[in-house]
């Protein structure tokens, strides 16, 4: 049976496509997909659009069930899905709207190095990063914590890492939620989740997680670049990881238990993977508290990973990371639900905003932003695949009006991991990457194939759409020089 989605999509304009509310009885709002014609063809190749329609059934959903241009099939929600529910009007929270890798996210560092200064050291650097950063499925690091310390991480997030000497106060200022979302409750996390998280702080994990050394090859907004201290030919680093086995366990625990809530609260959804509970219910509050613990764990993890990355640079270049200028531009979450205030029909409402494979993109002047980014808008970091480009953008007022302050999160998969393993030869792939001057190290041969550039949409197309729509604005583009994968 073909996976090609043949449901109704109405063109609103060149970048907005509507799944009408009449498509399925029970849809409370329409589905809106942000894409151009080219990307829409790719989107139709799986059932992600069906998931956009299914999310429109959620009690309390406002505006529309939204999909970013990197949308693809996920658990319950599509990856690239955004949905906001009205907390005071029975709005629900759904673990499927956050995902298994809670607060999978990305941070970007700059350096003082120019490409010409380090081009002959990239291979050494990549091999040193691979040696110095634990990566791969089930990887464990040197940062081991007791149950008491783990509870501290759940509450303090990145601040715990900084207090342990794994960073500085300025790192917290440049992290979404200052590296710790309030309202976490360690008591809402299962013993199994605790156990899975104990040895995984400061570990990269597997799949699409990476540390990538890059060079800025295109400037779009010179004023923003000047404010961020970025220039052409400058070396940057991206770190992409999440909450590891701990976050997966939290999602698994609550996805199972919330199925009972569908009957208890008389919630009718077309897919059990959309199991949910009212935000203000006992079950909804418990999940939100546990999810925040996992989110804070993920921020602490990326802070530890950045500390390890800085240490590797210090060894390779025989100078302190401060002298190298390895300061944090920003850290953003991709898989999270947040209680935020947004205007709906001109009236400010308290909403539960699910961003699954979507990035927060708050515009200039928003009170949640650090002072240094008040004029520019929030930095938005969009990694591509290991053979193309990545981007730094900023959030906009248009995003606040149209997408609850959200934008895309990456390129978006075109092929499943299993399909990639069947169709791509490792030797050919490594030759292509080498021809582009890209050094790759991974814990397994399969990981490199699963993350090949051709299994992803072209991130340049995705970013082009969000820039033209105006929900985030391009600042600069980076190309990969070397990458380590889980």
What mean pLDDT comes out for the span 71-93?
97
User: Is the pLDDT at 415 greater than 90, yes or no?
Assistant: no
Per-residue confidence band for 134, with pLDDT thresholds at 50, 70 and 90: confident
pLDDT in tens, 264-285: 999 999 999 999 999 999 999 9
What mean pLDDT comes out for the span 466-486?
95
State the Cα torsion 319-323-325-331 to the nearest 10°.
70
Q: Which of 209, 307, 409, 467 is catalytic?
A: 409
Q: Which domain holds residue 254?
A: 10-485
User: Is the pLDDT at 140 greater than 70, yes or no?
Assistant: no
Residue 278 domain flag? yes
Instruction: Give the total number of structural domains in the chain.
Output: 1
- What phi and psi, each to the nearest 5 degrees, are found at residue 144? -100, 140
Residue 2 domain flag? no
pLDDT in tens, 419-458: 777 888 888 888 888 889 899 988 777 788 888 888 888 9
Q: Which residues pair with 406 in a beta bridge?
A: 360
Mean pLDDT value across the chain: 93
User: Is the pLDDT at 113 greater than 70, yes or no?
Assistant: yes
* Distance in Å from the first CA to the final CA of the chain: 34
Per-residue confidence band for 201, with pLDDT thresholds at 50, 70 and 90: low
Contact 53, 23 (CB under 8 A): yes
In the chain, % of residues over pLDDT 70 = 96
CA atoms within 13 Å, Cβ hemisphere of 83: 33
What mean pLDDT comes out for the span 374-392?
95
Contact 369, 330 (CB under 8 A): no
Helix (H, G, I), strand (E, B) or coil at 378: coil
Residue 135 domain flag? yes
Per-residue confidence band for 204, with pLDDT thresholds at 50, 70 and 90: confident
In the prediction, which pLDDT does 364 show? 97
Residue 1 domain flag? no
**DSSP letter (8 states) at residue 325:** T
pLDDT in tens, 39-51: 999 899 889 999 9
Contact 195, 146 (CB under 8 A): no
H/E element holding 428? Answer: helix 426-435
CATH number for the domain that contains residue 374: 3.90.1860.10
Give the separation between CA 384 and CA 459, rounded to whole angstroms.
5
H/E element holding 67? Answer: strand 61-72
Residue 4 domain flag? no
User: Is the pLDDT at 1 greater than 50, yes or no?
Assistant: no
Check if 16 is active-site: no
pTM of the model: 0.95
Residue 253: closest CA among 289, 302, 299: 289
Residue 350 domain flag? yes
Q: Could you tell me the two tokens for 331? A: 């850290």
Residue 156 domain flag? yes
Give the separation between CA 81 and CA 53, rounded to whole angstroms.
11
Helix (H, G, I), strand (E, B) or coil at 216: strand
Higher pLDDT, 4 or 88: 88
Residue 3 domain flag? no
User: Is the pLDDT at 213 greater than 80, yes or no?
Assistant: yes
């Amino acid at each position: 049976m073909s996976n090609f989605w043949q449901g109704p999509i109405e063109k609103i304009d060149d970048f907005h496509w509507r799944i009408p509310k009449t498509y399925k009885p029970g849809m409370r709002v329409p589905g809106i997909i942000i894409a151009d014609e080219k990307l829409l063809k790719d989107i139709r190749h799986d059932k992600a659009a069906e998931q956009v329609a299914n999310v429109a059934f959620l009690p309390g959903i406002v505006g529309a069930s939204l999909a970013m241009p990197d949308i693809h099939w996920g658990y319950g929600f599509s990856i690239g899905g955004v949905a906001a529910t009205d907390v005071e009007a029975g709005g629900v929270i759904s673990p499927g709207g956050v995902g298994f890798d809670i607060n999978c996210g990305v941070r970007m560092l700059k350096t003082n190095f120019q490409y010409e200064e380090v081009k002959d050291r990239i291979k050494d650097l990549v091999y040193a990063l691979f040696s110095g950063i634990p990566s791969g499925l089930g990887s464990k690091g040197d940062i081991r914590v007791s149950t008491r310390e783990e509870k501290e991480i759940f509450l303090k997030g990145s601040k715990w890492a900084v207090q342990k000497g794994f960073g500085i106060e300025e790192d917290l200022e440049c992290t979404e939620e200052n590296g710790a979302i309030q309202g976490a409750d360690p008591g809402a996390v299962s013993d199994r989740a605790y156990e899975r998280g104990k040895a995984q702080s400061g570990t990269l994990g597997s799949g699409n997680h990476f540390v990538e050394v890059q060079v800025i090859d295109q400037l779009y907004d010179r004023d923003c670049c000047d404010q961020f201290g970025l220039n052409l030919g400058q070396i940057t680093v991206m770190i992409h990881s999440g909450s590891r086995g701990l976050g997966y366990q939290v999602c698994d625990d609550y996805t199972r238990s919330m199925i009972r809530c569908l009957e208890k609260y008389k919630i009718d959804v077309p897919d059990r993977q959309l199991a949910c509970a009212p935000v203000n219910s006992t079950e909804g509050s418990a999940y939100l508290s546990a999810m925040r613990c996992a989110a804070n764990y993920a921020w602490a993890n990326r802070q530890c990973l950045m500390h390890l990355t800085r240490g590797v640079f210090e060894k390779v270049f025989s100078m302190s990371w401060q002298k190298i200028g390895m300061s944090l531009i920003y850290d953003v979450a991709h898989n999270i639900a947040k209680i935020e205030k947004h205007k709906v029909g001109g009236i400010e409402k308290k909403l539960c905003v699910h961003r699954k494979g979507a990035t927060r993109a708050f515009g200039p002047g928003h009170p949640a932003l650090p002072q240094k980014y008040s004029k520019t808008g929030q930095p938005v970091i969009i990694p591509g695949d290991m053979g193309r480009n990545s981007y730094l953008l900023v959030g906009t007022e248009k995003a606040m009006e149209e997408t609850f302050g959200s934008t895309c999160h990456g390129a978006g998969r075109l092929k499943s991991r299993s399909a990639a393993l069947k169709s791509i030869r490792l030797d050919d792939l490594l030759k292509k990457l080498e021809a582009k001057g890209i050094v790759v190290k991974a814990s397994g041969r399969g990981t490199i194939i699963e993350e090949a550039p051709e299994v992803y949409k072209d991130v340049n197309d995705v970013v082009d759409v969000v820039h033209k729509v105006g929900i985030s604005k391009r600042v600069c583009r980076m190309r990969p020089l070397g990458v380590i994968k889980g």
